[in-house]
């Protein structure tokens, strides 16, 4: 091809890109807010986890407040996150209690996802709130299942409908696996030892049972990978963070 036909081709491509862009802009006009808030706060839905690419168990609910911290109806809320995260819906107006609710599916990569919810105040300044959610990879999801089955009843102080916590009955208190300050200090070898052989393997309480006969090495690996994934603050071994940039 001559130099001329190359530049002609480039011009055609540029023109077709430009039209597809303008289509996109025309597709979805944002609803018009009737009020402007001064703050956006979380009502619920932060710090959840789900397998990569799947829906979080609970919706994310945010609230737009006025100067007196009262929720206001009719404010515009929009959500942003890394590519791969989807919101249903991704924007809308707050309801009569000032809240906006959206269902969130996390991206296909394991790790921590930062979600940003924002609105605009009276002077058109962007006011935002960030939330964090965790996407568990395949091995971590497996580990989570073992945790629910074998560990949670002692390591999680909260009781649920299906499971009464044994935590209060224990003379020596275990740590929830989210307690990064404690769990991050333990090496993978420490974790393998205490899970396989029980508390005494690390000179700790025998109230921590041995799991070496119940769980395979691969199962224990999966548990450790889950423990690393949920640590707060995050472990050095945990997966990367994904945010809108
Ligand atoms: C019957 C109650 C019980 C169950 C079930 C249990 N643990 Fe523990 N675990 C403990 C106690 C008690 C300690 C604290 C021991 C100490 O500090 O002396 C502990 C400590 C630990 C520790 C060291 C960090 C910490 O929390 O202090 C790890 C890691 C651990 N357990 C992993 C597990 C895993 C993984 C499972 C499931 C496979 C599990 N535990 C199931 C009671 C339990």
pLDDT tens, residue by residue, 25-74: 456 789 999 999 999 999 999 999 999 999 999 999 999 999 999 999 99
pTM score, whole prediction: 0.84
Closest-lying ligand 1 atom to the alpha carbon of residue 224: 35
Q: Cβ distance 102 to 90 under 8 Å?
A: yes
Category of 69 on φ-ψ map: left (φ > 0), alpha (ψ -120 to 50) or beta: left
Domain 39-136 in this protein, CATH class: mainly beta
CA 91 to CA 189: how far, in whole Å? 46
Q: Would you mind telling me the total number of residues written for the chain in this entry?
A: 245
Give ranges for CATH 1.10.760.10 in the chain. Answer: 138-242
Write down the CATH superfamily of domain 138-242: Cytochrome c-like domain (1.10.760.10)
Residue whose CA lies nearest to ligand 1 atom number 41: 151
Give ranges for CATH 2.60.40.10 in the chain. Answer: 39-136
Ligand 1 pocket mutation pick from 154, 164, 177, 180 by most atoms within 8 angstroms of CB: 154
CB atoms near residue 12 (< 10 Å) = 10
Helix or strand (DSSP H, E) at 117: strand 111-120
**DSSP letter string over 109-166?**
S-EEEEEEEEEE-TT--EEEEEEEEEEE-HHHHHHHHHIIIIIHHHH-----SS----
pLDDT tens, residue by residue, 111-157: 999 999 999 999 999 999 999 999 999 999 999 999 999 999 999 99
């Amino acid at each position: 091809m001559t130099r001329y036909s190359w530049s002609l081709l480039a011009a055609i491509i540029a023109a077709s890109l430009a039209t597809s862009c303008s289509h996109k802009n025309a597709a979805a006009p944002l609803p018009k807010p009737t009020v402007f808030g001064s703050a956006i706060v979380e009502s619920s839905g932060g710090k959840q986890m789900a397998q990569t690419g799947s829906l979080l168990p609970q919706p994310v609910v945010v609230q737009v407040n006025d100067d007196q911290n009262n929720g206001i109806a009719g404010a515009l809320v929009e959500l942003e996150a890394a590519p791969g995260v989807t919101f249903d819906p991704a924007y809308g107006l707050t309801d009569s209690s000032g809240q906006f609710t959206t269902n969130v599916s996390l991206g296909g990569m394991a790790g921590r996802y930062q979600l940003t919810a924002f609105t605009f105040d009276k002077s058109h300044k962007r006011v935002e709130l960030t939330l964090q959610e965790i996407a568990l990879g395949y091995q971590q999801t497996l580990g989570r299942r073992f945790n629910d089955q074998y560990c949670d009843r002692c390591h999680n102080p909260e009781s649920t409908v299906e499971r009464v916590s044994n935590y209060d009955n224990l003379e020596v208190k275990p740590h929830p696996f989210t307690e990064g300050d404690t769990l991050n200090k333990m090496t993978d070898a420490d974790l393998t030892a205490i899970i396989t052989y029980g508390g005494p393997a690390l000179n700790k309480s025998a109230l921590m049972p041995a799991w070496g006969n119940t769980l395979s090495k691969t199962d224990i690996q999966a548990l450790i990978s889950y423990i690393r994934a949920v640590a707060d603050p995050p472990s050095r071994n945990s997966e990367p963070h994904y945010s809108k940039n």
